[in-house]
Amino acid sequence: MADWSYIPQVLVSGLGIGCVYGLIGIGFCVIYNASGIVNFAQGAFVMLGGMITHMLFARNGVPLPLAAVIAIAAVALLGVAIERVVVRPLWNRKATMFVMILATLAAQIVIERLTLIAVGDQPKTLPVFTDRPPLMIGGVAIGFQLIWIVGGSIAIVGLLAAFFSLTKTGKAMRACSINREAAALQGIPVSRMLALAFALSAALGAFAGILITPTQYTAFNVGVPFAISGFIAAIVGGFGRPFGAFLGGLLLGLLQALAIVGFGAGLKNVAALSVLLLFLFIRPSGILGAAK
């Protein structure tokens, strides 16, 4: 049976991965709020964030911060490209929700396979951002990468909050999420907001991918598990509530860490998916939503 003395240590690392799930969950919400679409290609952004940074840094010697910025910009552009090439034509044709899901899932597979062809199937990693021994706090080791992950995530969440409440563009996006037709009547360019939502969501995913890659690894096929965890985070938080999604991500990260201690690492995805099913069946509106 498991050794429970590891619990505090395990919870700390669960918190780190939880922040990443939370960021991915926010990415889902940003697109969903702007358009009512659930973008199943979200995982591709996470994978490409880590992958492009690795390619620039390890193969071409670009300094890590610069590589990260370039990767985030490139993935944001890719988000816009997916919106233009895949989502927009279906959107114009008023395709059903299901067709939209299938098309974005297919886009995920296409990006995955292109990555496989371009860089091969070997896992890639990045160095930790600050290479120093971990801090010891009450017998719990806290690595500097964890501090980067938690700090970076909280900073991004704060920036997003400021963006949505202070800037005109952010307010316009919120108006779209409340009522698209009314927003259009106010002169808000709804379709441009959709493209912007994809760019923002892709950048968030890429950022999450870059943060987590030094502690794990990245490979062409890590996207779907990350996307599903992010989706679970969004569901747990009440779909469409970005900050609920972040909270949901933290909860999921902690639960998953406990599941690893209790049942072994192999079943961590089963545990996460079971949380999803439980929430879907019992409380689909999430912890923050009103019970229906």
Partner 1 sequence: MTISPAITSPERRPLRLAGLLPWLFAVLVVGYAMVVGGYAATVVSFALIYAVFVTGLNLFMGFAAQVSFGQNAFAAIGGYLSAVLTATYGWSPLPAMALGIAAAVLTAAIVGYPALRLKGHYLAMGTLAIGLITYEITVEWQSVTQGYMGISGIPPFGIGPYEITSDRGQLVLLSLVVAASLFAAARIRRSRFGRALSAVAGSEEAAVALGIDVARYKLAAFLLSAGFAALAGSLFVHVVGFVSPEVFGLHMVIVTFTMLYVGGIGTVVGPLVGALIVSLLPETFRAFKDYQDLAYGAALILLLIYAPRGLASLFSPRGRS
Contact set with partner 1 (CB under 8 A)? 38, 86, 89-90, 93, 95, 97-99, 101-103, 105-110, 112-114, 116-117, 224, 228, 231, 235, 239, 266-267, 269-270, 273-274, 276-277, 280-281, 284
Tell me the helix, strand and coil percentages in the chain, rounded to 5.
75, 5, 20
- Residue 206 CA to residue 230 CA, distance in Å, equals 13
Residue 118 or 154: the one with the smaller Cβ distance to partner 1 is 118
Q: Are the C-beta atoms of residues 164 and 30 closer than 8 Å to each other?
A: no
Residue 133 or 266: the one with the smaller Cβ distance to partner 1 is 266
Q: What is the CA radius of gyration of the chain?
A: 19
- Residue 18 CA to residue 14 CA, distance in Å, equals 6
CB of 113 to partner 1, least distance (A): 4
Enclosing H/E stretch for 157: helix 144-166
CB of 150 to partner 1, least distance (A): 27
CB of 98 to partner 1, least distance (A): 5
Residue 66 or 270: the one with the smaller Cβ distance to partner 1 is 270
CB of 92 to partner 1, least distance (A): 10
Residue 127 or 264: the one with the smaller Cβ distance to partner 1 is 264
Residue 24's alpha-carbon distances to 30, 41, 116, 262, 273, in angstroms, are 10, 11, 22, 26, 16
CB of 276 to partner 1, least distance (A): 5
Residue 173 or 228: the one with the smaller Cβ distance to partner 1 is 228
Q: What is the DSSP string of 122-151?
A: S-B----SS-SPPEEETTEEE-HHHHHHHH
